[in-house]
Structure 1
């Protein structure tokens, strides 16, 4: 839950930025890489070597007074540890336990400010990164302990939350302490309550908090600060700190944090085979960032506690994370993914709907479909099952499909009457059952269709035949927004491609959205989540026309067959229209597999990495969205990108000579090894493959490979081969395969065969 780090001014959604922005404090909780407003950053602390002339009011209390540059080159970071030195020559090291941050401040022997005695002062402010505090309290104990709490607003949702802290200090004798308001401090007052405005939308930003000042530190000019956090109470924040870090042992706490990370990362092993340091750093960074969220808040939920059930938070947002974060966690940490699924169901149990986005116990904004449906079905298909109530899970999915919530901006789906009666979400829809932002009619239609496809998979698995047929039928609703004669122009020139999704009104007539609108080629930011947004979300019609993950065979046929589909996909990637920094572009890298051209997917993967994903400051092309970019990066480099919600992994050559994954359920190891591996990236075309020594021609894998272990060997060459191109080699789909000459029927690749694939064994392990 606790993620300590420095906070900067400017672009500070995750607190820190690797630029020259100044530091305003060090806070204890963060969300990583989110869009929208900055998140968390509650109760920042800030060290000062002393106050000029010993005058307490000559120290800096407000955030704008505290701003201090960093020393260039002083940042050192690794999992479990962060270290930075400020221009004041104060070095701050930090590490964490589950609910507690531990800082080690090393002060200069002589403060850089003239006429300043070395009497370190540490300020704690009742504030968060986006400055949303509406009220708060702080108490200063006789021993210098600071406790308190405040109410804040989430960064991408509705409502508010209350957070509590408990800060203790070690390493020097207490000289004096007190509270502050605005830029003035008092050493006499030991309690302060700051009242907020009347409404949550008008927060109080008046600086307020507490401070402690010390005599010269006992040794090494170091003072440790321990900050326990809780969403329950000040007492629980203190109990968390005292239980987790009782002795202020920085080195011991760091060692435990490093071991926790090592345990998570050690399920992967690679043989680089000469792959560059850039690629290796990019890969491990991607894996690391994928494990930061969702966050385990079990025992810290102030609203309910279901005996034996976990509670996870910071689902930022499932529209982003279902595609690659949760599939990667399923591969690398299936136990945690099981707990996350159980937590989603417990949220449904108490809130009445699955979340599509959630942070700080608040409902986050829904960007499109009801995508927890995909996460849950993906989990079922991949044996994530221990302790999961599948009857409850199915009930939750049917609720998304059938019952429109009062406010579908923050949960569920809107426009369900039209969805059921018309078979699409109309532009300018009349919705009398709920309220929400009436935009994104195209993207919501194709996303609702895939949500229903996933529900159909679970319905069949659980024996609900009538529901299976109903939701499978609804999953084809994307066709109802396909306008077969719609052309696409760029600067007045016909692209040569006809047939795109288009807005459609309730009476069945067509509207118009330029197919390149909301792409880098035309008004890139025109389709955000606002009342004037377009009919697609964060992407153009071109992109969403490719979105039929459950029925790619029909889509390929609709777009003119495999050859024309490949040309269209090439144009999308090569015209400058594709922005890989948004999650819905991920799958488009690998759709060539369905057309029997897996080599083209490999080409695209090796284009985007390392050109867009690397170890530079610009090495994340968009908002990381709690690890979405990192998980795309990691899975692509592993050579096994998933079609989330299905038991399908697309095979492309890993970026290393070999990569192995040890499964947390079975203990078995799956290895993918490249033969003729070329670290320069020339040999990216699979010529042939063997699975456990037997020839393997399918261009996709099932999850059983990772559960049962084994070795997939890929023989590489410099040009495209016939491997994985046959009708029987492509991933499953509802309709017949559209590859080859566009007329072949699917056998192994057909969705009819898909239903007959052997079910994975239902494994159990200790919760």
Structure 2
């Protein structure tokens, strides 16, 4: 089967030839600009690649899901666990420090302890960030900088020369979302000042709860005294605290403090974190940062990031610093989440890796994890092993997972796509693909009791009717009875990718079964359905997906509901029980979500020319929302109609207009690096169709791009002849691959693993 399944392809000619890139760099990137992306909810602080410790200043602004944002909020503390790019409730932000140069009246009760009372503004131009480092100055005069190892953060508190008295640093038993439950504890060792303890919290987008543990040590001035605080009072005579949540909405303030003789020298605070025990947190801290050496710890983080980003090099000729920052910051953000919690999973005993903070696979299967497959296949292999091990012990592959908890399922069973993409691209190292296949088949065949958290719902209808009905009768499992259209389309694709794994494992009967089910999307296409704008004007297009009842009769949802043009404040397309039949997008946009059978979809839409007109209308009429992942592939789907030049034009209409290092540089939540990977792929001149061995080609934003495969150590190079820094010439006229004329508009994964060379000759339209 041709991977693009279309007879409309290969009009576009991509250039390829073995060529050495000139003036290449992999060191020009700066994640600092992400601090100004107030709509991206990105984590802006200090961390390692996939690190568990993530140190940053926490603020009280509305978009503080990643801890810090530059909206001008006040700093509530400095914590060591975060996620990046998520929406909804803030995530993690556990066990925050907060410093005082001194307490009023030289009395520990002269300092303010509750979070909402103690928060202070910060000096705007004081914020600095780079890989493994974050620094900020509070309006109180205290400067805080921080760095991180894998499980341990190191904070350095500097007090102004004019400050007198005894500096105090408190540790708060709370988190960003104020989700702490009952029975949080802290013990303060008087002689050493070491603080240990734990608290139970809620996940930000899932079910259940989790316990996190900490171990804090201090270095610098002599310790004057230490103790605990509860509510607004503190005592150096008490060293242990066990505190309830309280009954008034927010957890009662509580934690520990340590006070020093002098603030004339910096005070270092080391915080190890664990999900297993305080002893484990202490062991992490002692092993990773034994000497409280800030510079060495920071250098370790920088070296780790440099190594991870080193496979990608681009020519800087004619390229602005802004574009380089945009490109490399996008790559950087793909490796902030998910987080490597190997050894930190108390739920089951296993020698397999454990990754957490998958927010969510619905977001990341499209571009983030495929990007890591070329950049960091070793880590993706460990992620796949983790997903399979989760299935082995919990019975299901996760669709979303965070903080040891099951996250909410947004659409299909999209771990199926993640596994299939890795399988067809040859990832093997210690992956049990037989168990992996059993896991995806279970998604397709067995309905879980709670399909809001795992697997798929409505499988009886799926198998008997070939679609998910609106208002389905489903008594075997339970979830929110919405999204019947998007679930039908996503289940179709999920079954297709299962057929791809089945083919590789020589399971012929399964290939036929799941390929047949992958065509179920056709059952919700209503050929005579029209679409009107909110002002009543006909869009001029006929034929859209529509909901269908159990008895086979049609329901109705406005094809523009939940699009950018929908002005109805009551339109909801998320996980609410009153939501519509599509998830986070409109029927107009979901009409293009048949990634595995574009040829049939194009035929259904009356051929390539009509398909192109629809795509143009989707983008030109502001129907699609590029700040959400369903829009990604539509930018490149002109390829399937034989018009790849239009994909190139569309890419340049969105970058840098919607993705740039500015105050509003992201159009939506970064979603754990999904937006970053979209930018990185697009600027490299390639884009994946995940679950298939296909990378769609457009001219890169650079004169040359090279990617060295960490698996084979071979370097794939794309050379953009007649490179035009003004980007007027973005339409490829001819192409060569390894010295031979190339007439396809896509390459496969061997382009990277075999280190092929490409050369493209671009011209203006």
Would you say same fold, with TM above 0.5? yes
What is the CA distance between 1:197 and its match in structure 2? 6.2
Q: Which residue of 116, 138, 141 corresponds with 2:189?
A: 141
Q: Report whether the alignment pairs 1:85 with 2:131.
A: no
Does residue 363 of the first structure (1) align with residue 423 of the second (2)?
no
> What per-residue deviation string (whole Å, max 9, x for no partner) do you get for residues 22-81 of structure 1?
110000010001011100000010111011221211111111122111112111111111
Structure 1 gap segments, 5+ residues each: 112-116, 720-767
Shift of the alpha carbon at 1:548?
0.5
Partner of 2:583, secondary structure, is coil
Task: Quote how far apart the aligned CAs of 1:526 are.
Answer: 1.8
1:63 equivalenced with 2:110 (yes/no):
no
In 2, Cα distance between equivalents of 1:223 and 1:679: 49
State the SS of the aligned residue for 2:519: helix
- Identify which of 164, 168, 179 aligns with 2:228: 179
The yes-or-no answer on 1:317 pairing with 2:360 is: yes
Residue in structure 1 matched with residue 288 of structure 2 by the alignment: 244
- Indicate yes or no: 2:598 matched with 1:555: no
Distance in 2 between residues matched to 1:90 and 1:252, nearest whole Å: 23
In structure 2, relative to structure 1, the CA distance for the partners of 1:683 and 1:617 (3 Å cut) is: same
Deviations 1:132-162 (A, max 9, x none): 1112000110211111000000000000000
Give 1:603-682 correspondences, 5 Å limit.
603-682=649-728
CA distance in 2, matches of 1:8, 1:332: 33
1:460 aligns with 2:508: no
Q: How does 1:695-714 map to 2 (within 5 A)?
A: 695-714=741-760
User: Alpha-carbon deviations, 1:589-616, whole Å to 9, x = none?
Assistant: 0000000000000011011000000000
| Partners of 1:592 and 1:513 in 2: CA distance | 26
Give, in whole Å, the separation in 2 of the partners of 1:334 and 1:617: 33
CA distance in structure 2 between the aligned counterparts of 1:568 and 1:435, rounded to whole angstroms: 36
Q: Whole-Å Cα distance in 1 between the matches of residues 189 and 365 of structure 2? A: 46
| Counterpart secondary structure, 1:610 | coil
Tell me, yes or no, if the aligned pair for 1:195 and 1:204 is still in contact at 8 Å: no
Work out which of the residue numbers 325, 329, 350 in structure 2 matches 1:306: 350
SS in 2 for 1:611: coil
Q: Quick check: 1:195 aligned with 2:244?
A: yes
Partner of 2:4: none
Name the residue aligned to 1:743: none
Q: Which residue in 2 is equivalent to 1:297?
A: 341
Q: Which residue number in structure 1 is paired with residue 447 of structure 2?
A: 404
5 Å-filtered alignment, 1:353-752, equals 353-490=396-533, 491-522=535-566, 523=568, 526-719=572-765
Q: Spell out, residue by residue over 1:227-269, the C-alpha distance to the aligned partner (whole angstroms, 9 max, x if none).
A: 0000010111111100110000000000001000000011111
Preserved CA contact (<8 Å) 1:425 1:441: yes
Alignment partner of 1:33 is 2:85: yes
Matched, 1:17 2:69: yes
Q: Tell whether the 8 Å contact from 1:149 to 1:162 is kept in structure 2 after alignment.
A: yes
**Displacement after TM superposition at 1:203 (Å):** 7.0
Measured in 2, the distance between the counterparts of 1:714 and 1:386 equals 34
8 Å CA contact 2:154–2:268 kept in 1: the answer is: yes
Whether the 8 Å contact between 1:134 and 1:204 is mirrored in structure 2 is no
Displacement after TM superposition at 1:204 (Å) = 5.7
Q: What SS does the aligned partner of 1:4 have?
A: strand
Of the structure 1 ranges 414-423 and 522-531, higher mean CA displacement relative to structure 2 is found in 522-531
Aligned-pair CA distance for 1:494? 1.0
Residue 172 of structure 2: aligned partner: 125
Q: Distance in 1 between matches of 2:122 and 2:703?
A: 40
How many pairs does the alignment contain? 708
8 Å CA contact retained: 1:132, 1:203: no
Aligned residue for 2:503, secondary structure, equals: helix
Partner deviation per Cα, 1:676-709 (whole Å, 9 max, x = no partner): 1111111111111111111111000100010000
The offset of 1:118, in angstroms, is: 3.0
Q: 1:261 aligns with which of 302, 305, 310?
A: 305
Q: Report the counterpart of residue 7 of structure 1 in structure 2.
A: 58
Contact 2:109/2:234 (8 A) holds in 1: yes
Deviation at 1:710, TM superposition (A): 2.2
Are the counterparts in 1 of residues 94 and 175 from structure 2 also a CA contact under 8 Å? yes
Cα RMSD for the two superposed structures: 1.1
Structure 1 position 161 matched with structure 2 position 210: yes
Q: Distance in 2 between matches of 1:595 and 1:342?
A: 37
Query: Structure 1 residues 424-433 or 202-211, which shifts more?
Result: 202-211
- Provide, for residues 544-566 of structure 1, a one-character-per-residue CA deviation record: whole Å limited to 9, x for no partner: 01110000000000001000000
The residue number in structure 1 matching 2:153 is 101
**Contact kept? 1:327, 1:642, Cα under 8 Å:** yes
**Shift of the alpha carbon at 1:272?**
2.2
Instruction: Select the structure with the greater relative contact order (CA < 8 A; seq sep ≥ 6).
Output: 2
With normalisation by structure 1, the TM-score equals: 0.91
Show structure 1 runs of 4+ deviating over 6 A.
none
CA offsets 1:632-663 (integer angstroms, 9 cap, x no match): 11111111110011100000011111111110
> How far apart are the structure 1 equivalents of 2:576 and 2:132?
38
Contact 1:134 1:151 in 2 (8 A): yes
SS of aligned partner of 2:336 = coil
Measure, in 2, the Cα distance between the counterparts of 1:534 and 1:5.
38
Instruction: Determine the structure 2 residue equivalent to 1:754.
Output: none
Q: Distance in 2 between matches of 1:276 and 1:480?
A: 49
The whole-number CA distance in structure 2 between the counterparts of 1:689 and 1:276 is: 26
Task: Establish whether residue 328 from structure 1 lines up as the match of residue 376 from structure 2.
Answer: no
- For residues 631 and 122 of structure 1, the distance between their equivalents in structure 2, rounded to whole angstroms, comes to 39
In 2, Cα distance between the equivalents of 1:368 and 1:173? Answer: 56
Determine the C-alpha separation between the residues in 2 that align with 1:529 and 1:285: 31
SS at 2:362 equivalent: helix
